[in-house]
């Protein structure tokens, strides 16, 4: 059990990729706090599953795009579970429309949730982790940070910012023994895909096409991503700093 006596906080941990990460860390011995924003029921369900694995779980509501809420969330988790050793910035949202339909409100919403949250959560959690001898921060990114996807302009830009933040965080937090990396996932079948009109129109065809173009022969699962997150939080990966680890079955190599 790699994470015995460790406390993890997974933002957006109630469903999708975040849920798989929360469960994976719990299966390896961590107590896990699950942040949610709108989905209390799914967060509660994930917490129940973590408890059934014999670990402590705590759910905490916060819009990670609001700095006050973010800081309060980290404070609450540290108080209830006794600290924070692993922070996974997984929560994401976005105003998914083409460039010409974008508004300032959508930019602020997307950037604050997907990128600004990583900076200010790091600022808040760093002293807590340092007091426990160090920790790990993992930022969840996507291939839209580098490739151009339909309706993804804002999320793509926010993920590019998140990847840049990952490098700065890795260097500036290294003296506190805080290890920071990002995991960039390929397409994973979650609720997130429903937010894009191209997927809503032909979801099965889209997934089949991606599977067919993926050298690994299938699309990435949430569990694939969770396994790499857990590995990055382990001792074996401690010399990996500020990197964006691509988990896409080779998909982006082919276009
Ligand atoms: N699915 C993919 O193909 C894919 C590919 C590459 C990267 N990713 C990345 O993987 C991560 C997880 O994606 P997913 O596909 O699992 O997404 P998802 O199924 O749509 O879930 C999004 C999660 O983020 C939470 N969230 C959204 N806005 C929030 C806010 N303002 N404050 C706190 N939590 C918030 C949601 O919480 P509630 O349940 O409370 O709404 C939910 O748990 C994201 O960073 C995404 O960009 C996904």
Indicate the pairing of strand 244-247 with strand 86-89. unpaired
Check if 38 has its Cβ closer than 6 Å to any atom of ligand 1: yes
Check if 37 has its Cβ closer than 6 Å to any atom of ligand 1: yes
Q: What is the pLDDT of residue 130?
A: 98
Q: What is the pLDDT of residue 196?
A: 78
Which pair of structure tokens corresponds to residue 199? Answer: 């997927």
3-state secondary structure of 240: coil
- How many Å separate Cα 84 from the centre of its chain? 16
C-beta neighbour count of 185 within 10 angstroms: 22
Contact 65, 117 (CB under 8 A): yes
- Residue 2 falls inside a structural domain: no
Catalytic residue chosen out of the listed positions 105, 152, 168, 235: 152
- Residue 141 falls inside a structural domain: yes
Q: What's 239's domain CATH number?
A: 3.40.50.720
Look up residue 115 and give its DSSP letter: I
Q: Which of 50-59, 61-70, 201-210, 214-223 has the lowest mean pLDDT?
A: 201-210
CA distance linking residue 84 with residue 101, whole number of Å: 40
Distance (angstroms) between ligand 1 centre and the Cα of 175 equals 30
CA distance linking residue 237 with residue 181, whole number of Å: 10
Name residue 36's beta-bridge partners.
Answer: 61
- Residue 255 falls inside a structural domain: no
Check if 117 has its Cβ closer than 6 Å to any atom of ligand 1: no
Whether 152 is a known active-site residue: answer: yes
For the residues 3-28, what does the mean pLDDT come to?
A: 98
- Residue 45 falls inside a structural domain: yes
Nearest alpha-carbon partner for 89 in 120, 118, 125: 118
- Residue 253 falls inside a structural domain: no
For the residues 48-66, what does the mean pLDDT come to?
A: 98
Q: Which range marks the domain in which residue 99 is found?
A: 7-248
Overall number of domains in the chain: 1
On the question of pLDDT at 18 being above 80, the answer is yes
- Residue 120 falls inside a structural domain: yes
- What DSSP assignment string belongs to 175-206? GGTEEEEEEEE--B-SGGGGGSHHHHH-HHHH
pLDDT category of residue 233 using cuts at 50, 70 and 90: very high
What is the pTM for the complete model shown?
A: 0.98
Whether 95 is a known active-site residue: answer: no
* Residue owning the nearest CA to atom 11 of ligand 1: 90
Place of tokens 């790499």: 228
- Residue 1 falls inside a structural domain: no
Burial class (CB in 10 A: 0-12, 13-18, 19+), 164: middle
pLDDT category of residue 109 using cuts at 50, 70 and 90: very high
- Residue 54 falls inside a structural domain: yes
* Residue owning the nearest CA to atom 20 of ligand 1: 192
pLDDT tens per residue, range 178-216: 999 999 999 999 999 888 776 777 777 788 889 999 999
Query: Rounded mean pLDDT of the chain?
Result: 96
On the question of pLDDT at 108 being above 80, the answer is yes
């Amino acid at each position: 059990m790699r994470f015995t006596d460790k406390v993890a906080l997974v933002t957006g941990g109630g469903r999708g990729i975040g849920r798989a990460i929360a469960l994976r860390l719990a299966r390896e011995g961590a107590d896990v706090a699950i942040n949610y924003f709108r989905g209390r029921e799914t967060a509660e369900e994930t917490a129940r599953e973590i408890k059934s694995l014999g670990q402590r779980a705590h759910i905490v509501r916060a819009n990670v795009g609001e700095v006050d809420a973010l800081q309060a969330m980290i404070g609450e988790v540290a108080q209830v579970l006794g600290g924070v050793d692993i922070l996974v910035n997984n929560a994401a949202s976005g105003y998914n429309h083409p460039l010409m339909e974008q508004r300032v409100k959508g930019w602020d919403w997307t950037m604050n949730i997907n990128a600004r949250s990583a900076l200010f959560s790091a600022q808040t959690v760093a002293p807590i982790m340092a007091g426990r001898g160090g920790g790990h921060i993992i930022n969840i990114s996507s291939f839209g940070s580098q490739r151009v996807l339909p309706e993804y302009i804002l999320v793509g830009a926010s993920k590019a910012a998140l990847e840049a933040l990952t490098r700065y965080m890795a260097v500036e937090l290294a003296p506190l023994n805080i290890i920071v990396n990002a995991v960039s996932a390929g397409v994973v079948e979650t609720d997130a895909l429903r937010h894009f009109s191209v997927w809503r129109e032909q979801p099965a065809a889209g997934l089949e096409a991606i599977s067919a173009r993926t050298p690994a022969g299938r699309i990435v699962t949430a569990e694939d991503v969770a396994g790499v997150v857990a590995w990055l939080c382990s001792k074996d990966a401690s010399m990996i700093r500020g990197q964006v680890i691509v988990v896409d079955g080779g998909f982006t190599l082919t276009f």
